[in-house]
Amino acid sequence: DVRGARVRDAIAAVAAAGELRVRLEHEAGLERAYCSFDAVSSVEALFLLAQLGELQVEEQQLGQDPRPLYAVGRTPRSLFSVDPWHVLYALGFLLTAFLADRVLDAFLRRQEQASRMGALRFKQVAPLVRVAVWVVALLNGLLILLRVPASTALALTGGGLLLIGFASREIAANFIGGVAVALDRPLYLGDYVTVGGWRGEVTRIGLRSTQLVTLEDTTVTVPNRVVATSAVASANYGGLEALIPVSLYVAHDAPIEEVRSLVWEGVVTSAYCAWRRPVHVLFEEERWATRVVAHAYVFDVRHQLLFVSDVTQRVKQAFRERGIDYPRPWPASSTSAIPGSSSASGTDAGSA
């Protein structure tokens, strides 16, 4: 039945190209088109349309002509005919995916209140679960809405994503970056990372962006394209503990062994110290003071500021009780007396 303008125009276009001969006949009130092909590719294209549900094709033999004819008819429904109930079913899948995403977030928040380590384990698989839920929901919604085979739905989805990618390359790049982050895992939820010039705790890994919360309680949204293509430095990488340096300064003539003992004691007695991990106290000589750096692990990276503040307070109090002075800055008028300064060297050389 070629009363449909869409099928009639398609047949006429192929006939105009010279590969198709069409004879129209009227049978029982219907206008039918009998087509004869010279090219095998045209036959294959016609049957491909039939498989997609757009045409009905029957091979016939008329008279003494050795070449077969193909009776082409329009199917009762079009490829993209939409049933209102199917629209509701497709929307139901999308709504289910949205609710599952919200329930997953609520579950992770409850787990974080109950057990920090348990919440981290669940957060590590949450991005993969979120991607799988949305992909399944979108594919099922497409299959129900268009009523097409799964292979056709995948082909249409790929073509649509390709067009969308050309129209919005940045969004597509961020989406691909989100999939790469979920599979490659350069960072985990709960990690304290440095990425794209920002430092903070990873609170969410989405399909388009990753969210960080800085120590100043500022939420930073980093596009996944940046996360996937730049260097990511993680202080704890899926764990709770992180190595934190604590810097202090003493005078050049301070007793080094006593300073080392007081700093070590101040670190290991802190409530925020992961005492099962090693503690190292290092010294570095600077121009106006001796720098003391304690490398120790905090039991939860979120408490790193409290850890540094607590250790500094304890060590300064111990220095005060033992009479260990902090270095005094050199007066501006007496820079010539600073050991190693250029003016002092010149004076000494002149005296010599």
**For position 343, what pLDDT does the model report?**
40
**For position 315, what pLDDT does the model report?**
96
How many Å from the N-terminal Cα to the C-terminal Cα in the chain? 115
> For residues 89 and 80, what is the distance between their CA atoms, to the nearest angstrom?
16
**For position 6, what pLDDT does the model report?**
56
> For residues 1 and 7, what is the distance between their CA atoms, to the nearest angstrom?
9
**For position 76, what pLDDT does the model report?**
42
C-alpha to C-alpha distances, 271 to 64, 191, 304, nearest whole angstrom: 100, 21, 12
**For position 100, what pLDDT does the model report?**
82
**For position 22, what pLDDT does the model report?**
57
Three-state DSSP state, 216: coil
C-alpha to C-alpha distances, 326 to 32, 104, 220, 251, 263, nearest whole angstrom: 102, 52, 38, 6, 14
The answer for 63, left when phi > 0, alpha when psi is -120 to 50, beta otherwise, is left
**For position 319, what pLDDT does the model report?**
96
Task: Give 269-274's long-range contacts (Cβ < 8 A, gap of 24+).
Answer: 269/314, 270/307, 270/310, 270/311, 270/314, 271/310, 272/298, 272/299, 272/300, 272/303, 272/306, 272/307, 272/310, 273/297, 273/298, 273/299, 273/307, 273/311, 274/241, 274/298, 274/299
Q: Is the dihedral of CA 325, 327, 329, 335 positive or negative?
A: positive
Where the chain has pLDDT below 70, the residues are 1-83, 108-109, 111-128, 142, 146-172, 329-352
Q: Is 315 exposed, middle or buried (0-12, 13-18, 19+ CB in 10 A)?
A: buried
**For position 349, what pLDDT does the model report?**
38
**For position 103, what pLDDT does the model report?**
83
Q: What single DSSP character describes residue 192? A: E
**For position 12, what pLDDT does the model report?**
63
